[in-house]
Amino acid sequence: PRLITLHDSGTFIIPNNGNLTEFQGNYRCFATNKLGTAMSEEIEFIVPNIPKFPKEIIDPIEVMEGQSVILECNPPKGIPPLQIYWMTLSLQHIEQDERVSVGLNGNLYFSNAIETDSRRDYCCFAAFPRIRTIVQKTAMSVVVKSNKLMKDSGSGRGYANSLLERKPSLLTPTGKESHTYLVKGEDLQLECIAEGFPTPKVEWVKIGFHKLPERAVVESHGKLLTIEMVNEEDEGKYMCRVKNPHGEVVHYFHVSVEEPLEFEIEPQSQLVTIGADVVIKCVVKANPQPSVVWRVNGRLLNEVPTSNRKVLKDGTISIHNAKPENSAVYQCEATNRHGTILVNANIMIMNIQPLILTENNLQYMAVEGKGVVMHCKVFSSPTSSITWSKTDSANSVEGERFSVYKNGSLEIHNVMKEDMGEYSCFAQNTEGKVAIAATLEVKDPTRIVDPPHDLRVLVGTTIQFSCQAEFDPSFGDDFEILWEKDGMALNGSENARYILDDGVLEIINVSFGDQGFYVCVARTPVDQDMAVAQLSVVDVPDPPEDVVLSEHNGRSVKLQWIPGDDHNSSITKFVIEFEESQHEPGSWREMMRVPGNHHFALLNLHGHVDYRFRVSATNEVGRGRPSQATEGYKTPASAPDKNPENIKIEGHLPHEMDLNWEPLSPIEHNGPGLEYKVSYRRQGTGEDWTEHMVKRHSFVVKNTPTFVLYEIKIQAKNHAGWGPDPEIITAYSGEDFPSAAPENVAIDGMNNTMVKVRWDHVHKDKLNGHLGGYRISFWRLRSLLNSKKTHGDKHTLTFSGERNHTVITGLKPFSEYSLIVMAFNSRGNGPGSHPISFQTPEGVPGQVSALSVTNLQNHKITLTWSPPVDANGLIIGYILQYQLINDTEELGSPTTLNISADSSKLHLQDLEAMSKYKFYLRCCTRVGCGPAVSEERTTVAEASEYGWQLFRGKSGSQFPPRKTTVPPVANATLSSIGEGNWKISDALNSSKTFHIIEGLEPGTEYTVRLMTKSWVDNSSIFEDVIRTSAKGLASIHGGISNQGWFIGLMCAIALLTLIVLIACFVNRNKGGKYSVKEKEDLHPDLESQGINDDTFCEYSDDEKPLKSSQHSLNGDLKGGDSGDSMVDYGDEDAHFNEDGSFIGEYSGRKERVSMEIKGNNQSTA
């Protein structure tokens, strides 16, 4: 087949078999069913040929100089748009100006030819963008001949031109006027190209108006007037006026703007009941008036006659008492010179019961607070009445929030939760009644609760936009937060710098391309909420551009520049820097700053310097990179602009004056050969100036009188001349030491640490310079408690200016001092005054030294002290105060004692045992008492209240108490001798008769103390020194002793030995007559010592398990010994030393100490 058609489609395909041109023409599409035939507008099918210029030979065009030339293009036909270019064979565009131009028709016009227009390769190129084709016309040659006759006759150029000069004439358009018709919305182009010499100029005017319309644009060097998308206001008469000095010519354009074809009333499809009247209207608005043609089923109306149909004068079709056979498709087609428009209208005449076209049981979702539309599209004839009802309500849906439209749709405004449920739509006419159901679900609205905020950040940083929203929980995974920028969705997978996570957009390494508006979209299947935030990226400004120098004027120049991008932060200032190549090449120094709204600066420069300049901009972020440097600019040499500054005149020696000044910098020399002229003379003497030329920046004036006023001036000079007149300054020559001492030095008043001194000023003639001030030197000779004088450390106080009195503080009371006063100047100190002596009165003493509390007992205590280091007078005694300060809120009332001055020790009695006291001691003189020194101590417990023994075992040491009464809370403390760090055990349990200390190091000596936990001083209840066994022996015995059989064997042997011993004692004493009670006291029962089964079989101190135990049981007990005495366990001394610790001295006093402990135990029994 020649054509390919698609089933049930109006589309057909023309295969490109090389004969497409056979199918060129106009086409219409007709669609037919049993109700009629519809048709489309005409479609023109064009098969364009490839446009080509004809091959031709074009003769050269010869013209005389000054004549006009027209090169015709005549482009081939092709699919518009068409673009014309005139170029050479080397593809160089022919330059257009007022004399040369390309017309809308493609021709190249020369208003007057000149010799340089002669060339052989004028080519016209025609471009067809839609088919991507450019074609070239054969090159044309133009020869412009000059007028040789005029040259040969000797006539000048001006005379030749006068012969060629003429008034303008139009090359295009021709005639005096023309008409242009456009459709509203098209572009207007009016062109005037003229010839003449001199080249004429073109002016445009709209007749009746002072100026052209605002939208009018004049182009092509005044030859083309363009107005885009014209409307009725652009209609009218336009004139182009072409003129030169020899005359003018005009052309009038009558521009008419016509209306495009448009249906004012378009025929509507209708469904009409049988027997009704049908009216079909078609009203077309256009200029010029179109012709309107009616068709029925694609055929002209008069070709399908019917008795009950007629066409009215206004073109309306009327069908009376319509019948089913009048059903058809009617076409209204309107045509004028601007085109054709067509519309189809389906007229169906029938009676039919309602047919609901909307699907049944649809589910709708709505958002609370918003609207929802539920559809019920009905096809019926006659028209059906449509009602809606809710399933749980028999009545129709009513109220302001409900609207039922003609198309059957129900809209609910401002949806509420109670609107949720099932709805029914009923459609009814004379032919029947039908219904469908619909379900409405109401969801919570989606709302952004934490929107993103605008950010203004520095380029290169990382930013985060956060966006959090609330939504209906039923959506679950159907909820999403999306981010958009400039209408485009952001995707983290496409750009690694974007990280999207749970409503947070993070942008890494922000660039300027990231700035813009970011939209957070919180979306569910039924609604969405949006929030917008702006990201502004700031940075230092870009370097200024086009930095140039202008207005060169010797030593001044104008610097101009164009600011670079400020990167969203306004430029506040520009910094101008310079580099000079002679003294510091490569070093850029700041010259000046100008405000950010200035783009130029006038620079005043130094002479004889080769400058380069650059500019940098500053905003709130910082200073940007500098611009490119300007070209070099060298200033001419000139005299110095300034003289030296910061002149410093000093007199280090009495007969000299040193002059120093800040030299001019190299750039301030303004030329070569810089020198300084130093001039000086004594003031007020009328002497001439003494002058010296120097190249350095210092000078010494010698042989000057001491401290005489001089006038000095310093002037700069170079090869170009002298600097400005220098300023005269005055200064004194060198100073000498003051030659006199202050007189009438006296003491005006004092207390025990301060004295007031006054003196008379030294006369200015004796100062030999500027007075610096006065100095006072003083030293302590002795304390008045000591008759021997010594020269103490000297102290010096300095006072600037004209002072004649001062106050010396920080003196020691009850002391003798001496002082002198002297004046000083910049050279040094003058002679001192005659020394004067004075004595300070008594003061309160210092703090008592070395207060200590010793000999702590249960009711007695001893205090010792030393006198204060600084007595500050005669000590008359001491005051002691002490009070009870046990751990209670109430303190005991203080007790005060007066102590004689010669005492250094005090014994206090009648104190409470085991109580804490605080002692305050002050020293007093006749003036008063000094600050108190304090100490806190606690008296010891009753000596017989506790008895303790120390046993050493395999894993530690233990305290088996002698009696069952123990302090409520106590701690055992342990220190390795030589280290001094005490370790405190857990609190002892008062219900147990022993305490085990574990974790000791083998072969180490320890000091063990038992202390009451509530005590805060170092007093102890019990103290002893032990040594643990060596590691090797302990490990051997430990290995055996840890075996159960060995422990059982040892216990059995010990028990058997005890039974044998008891039997021996009983047998021995059967015949004796002595007190049984006394013997029991001497030999207490071992069971009462509190040794349980775990400790009875442990090793003794000498690490001989069985032998040592036998020695303890069988040894002879002396009359004064106790069976469980501390002496047997190495505690040889039971008294407390000075700091309250319980120390054994191991000095052969076992018997005495044991007796004392036994006695104490008896007293408490």
Q: What is the DSSP string of 1061-1113?
A: HHHHHHHHTSS--S-HHHHHHHS--GGGGT--HHHHTS--TTS-HHHHHHHHH
Give the DSSP letter of residue 526.
Answer: S
Determine the pLDDT at residue 1020.
Answer: 56
Q: Are 103 and 84 in contact (CB under 8 A)?
A: no
Q: Which residues contact 302 (CB under 8 A, 6 or more apart)?
A: none
Residue 859 lies in a domain: yes
Q: Are residues 669 and 748 in the same domain?
A: no
For residue 770, how many C-alpha atoms fall within 13 Å in the half-sphere facing its CB? 12
Determine the pLDDT at residue 925.
Answer: 95
Q: Are residues 957 and 1077 in the same domain?
A: yes
Q: Are residues 1091 and 974 in the same domain?
A: yes
Determine the pLDDT at residue 686.
Answer: 85
Label each residue of 898-933 as H, E or C.
EECCCCCEEEECCCCCCCEEEEEEEEEECCCECCCE
> How many domains, in total, are found in the chain?
10
Q: Are residues 1142 and 1014 in the same domain?
A: yes
Determine the pLDDT at residue 955.
Answer: 43
The angle that helices 1031-1041 and 1044-1068 make with each other, rounded to 10 degrees, is: 90
pLDDT surpassing 50 at residue 314 = yes
pLDDT band of 1031, cuts 50, 70, 90: low
End-of-domain residue from the set 258, 273, 302 = 258
pLDDT band of 881, cuts 50, 70, 90: very high
Residue 558 lies in a domain: yes
Per-residue burial over 247-267, b if 16 or more Cβ lie within 10 Å, else e, is ebbebebebebbbebebeeeb
Determine the pLDDT at residue 888.
Answer: 67
Determine the pLDDT at residue 1152.
Answer: 32
Determine the pLDDT at residue 299.
Answer: 93
Q: Are residues 211 and 253 in the same domain?
A: yes
Determine the pLDDT at residue 1149.
Answer: 34
Q: Say which CATH number the domain at 1021 has.
A: 2.60.40.10
End-of-domain residue from the set 118, 134, 162 = 162
Determine the pLDDT at residue 1016.
Answer: 44
Q: Are residues 1041 and 1152 in the same domain?
A: yes
pLDDT surpassing 90 at residue 988 = no
* Amino acid of residue 860: K
Determine the pLDDT at residue 1009.
Answer: 66
Q: What is the C-alpha separation between 1118 and 484, in angstroms, rounded?
A: 106
Determine the pLDDT at residue 989.
Answer: 59
Q: Are residues 768 and 650 in the same domain?
A: no
Beta strand pairing status for 610-618 and 633-634? antiparallel
Determine the pLDDT at residue 399.
Answer: 86
- Backbone dihedral region for residue 1094 (phi beyond 0: left; psi -120 to 50: alpha; all else: beta): alpha
pLDDT band of 573, cuts 50, 70, 90: very high
Q: What is the C-alpha separation between 676 and 1124, in angstroms, rounded?
A: 109
Identify the three-state secondary structure at position 473: helix
Task: Express each pLDDT in 1077-1093 by its tens digit.
Answer: 333 343 333 333 333 33
Task: Express each pLDDT in 747-770 by its tens digit.
Answer: 988 899 999 999 999 998 899 888
Task: Express each pLDDT in 269-305 by its tens digit.
Answer: 999 999 999 999 999 998 889 999 999 999 999 899 8
Stretch 620-636: mean pLDDT, rounded? 95
Residue 823 lies in a domain: yes
Higher pLDDT, 310 or 963: 310
End-of-domain residue from the set 100, 127, 162 = 162
Task: Express each pLDDT in 347-374 by its tens digit.
Answer: 999 999 999 999 999 999 999 999 999 9
pLDDT band of 158, cuts 50, 70, 90: low
pLDDT band of 1011, cuts 50, 70, 90: low
Residue 19 lies in a domain: no
Residues paired with residue 924 on neighbouring β-strands, in sequence order: 877, 929
* pLDDT above 90 as % of the chain: 64
Q: Average pLDDT, whole number, for the chain?
A: 84
Q: Are residues 1036 and 1131 in the same domain?
A: yes
Tell me how far the alpha carbon of residue 1046 is from its chain's centroid. Answer: 79
Question: Secondary structure of the chain: what % helix, strand, coil (to 5)?
Answer: 10, 45, 45
pLDDT surpassing 60 at residue 518 = yes
Determine the pLDDT at residue 1088.
Answer: 35
407 vs 350, 378, 710, 852, 970, CA distance in Å? Answer: 19, 7, 114, 112, 100
Q: Which residues contact 228 (CB under 8 A, 6 or more apart)?
A: 187, 188, 215
Residue 402 burial by Cβ neighbours in a 10 Å radius (0-12, 13-18, 19+):
middle
Residue 1148 lies in a domain: yes
Q: Which residues contact 561 (CB under 8 A, 6 or more apart)?
A: 544, 545, 546, 547, 548, 574, 599, 600, 615, 627
Backbone angles phi, psi at 1033, to 5 degrees: -65, -40
Determine the pLDDT at residue 1075.
Answer: 39
Identify the three-state secondary structure at position 1122: coil
pLDDT surpassing 70 at residue 557 = yes
Determine the pLDDT at residue 1000.
Answer: 80
Q: What is the C-alpha separation between 744 and 760, in angstroms, rounded?
A: 6
pLDDT surpassing 90 at residue 660 = yes
pLDDT surpassing 70 at residue 401 = yes
Q: What is the C-alpha separation between 548 and 630, in angstroms, rounded?
A: 6
Q: Indicate the pTM of the whole model.
A: 0.44
In this structure, of 552-561, 733-742, 880-889, 1106-1115, the range with the lowest mean pLDDT score is 1106-1115
pLDDT band of 1, cuts 50, 70, 90: low
pLDDT surpassing 70 at residue 419 = yes
Q: Are residues 1065 and 1156 in the same domain?
A: yes
Stretch 880-893: mean pLDDT, rounded? 81
Determine the pLDDT at residue 932.
Answer: 94
Q: What is the C-alpha separation between 500 and 514, in angstroms, rounded?
A: 15
* pLDDT above 70 as % of the chain: 82
In this structure, of 303-307, 615-619, 1018-1022, the range with the lowest mean pLDDT score is 1018-1022
Determine the pLDDT at residue 465.
Answer: 96
pLDDT surpassing 60 at residue 1111 = no
Label each residue of 188-249 as H, E or C.
EEEECEEEEECCCEEEEEECCCCCCCCCEEEECCCCEEEECCCCHHHCEEEEEEEEECCEEE
Length of the chain as a residue count: 1165
Residue 831 lies in a domain: yes
263-277, 937-951, 1140-1154, range with greatest mean pLDDT: 263-277
Residue 14 lies in a domain: no
Q: Which residues contact 583 (CB under 8 A, 6 or more apart)?
A: 666, 667
Alpha helices in 913-1030 (DSSP H): none
Residue 2 lies in a domain: no
- Residue carrying structure tokens 């069971």: 1087
pLDDT band of 1127, cuts 50, 70, 90: very low
Q: Are residues 1143 and 1034 in the same domain?
A: yes
Q: Are residues 231 and 336 in the same domain?
A: no
Task: Express each pLDDT in 832-864 by its tens digit.
Answer: 999 999 999 999 999 998 899 988 888 899 999
Range of the domain at 859: 849-938
Q: Are residues 219 and 324 in the same domain?
A: no
pLDDT surpassing 90 at residue 470 = yes
- Residue carrying structure tokens 């028999």: 394
Determine the pLDDT at residue 1091.
Answer: 34
Task: Express each pLDDT in 161-200 by its tens digit.
Answer: 666 889 999 999 999 999 999 999 999 999 999 999 999 9
Stretch 419-431: mean pLDDT, rounded? 93
Determine the pLDDT at residue 658.
Answer: 93
| Helix or strand (DSSP H, E) at 161 | helix 157-164
pLDDT surpassing 80 at residue 887 = no
pLDDT surpassing 90 at residue 520 = yes
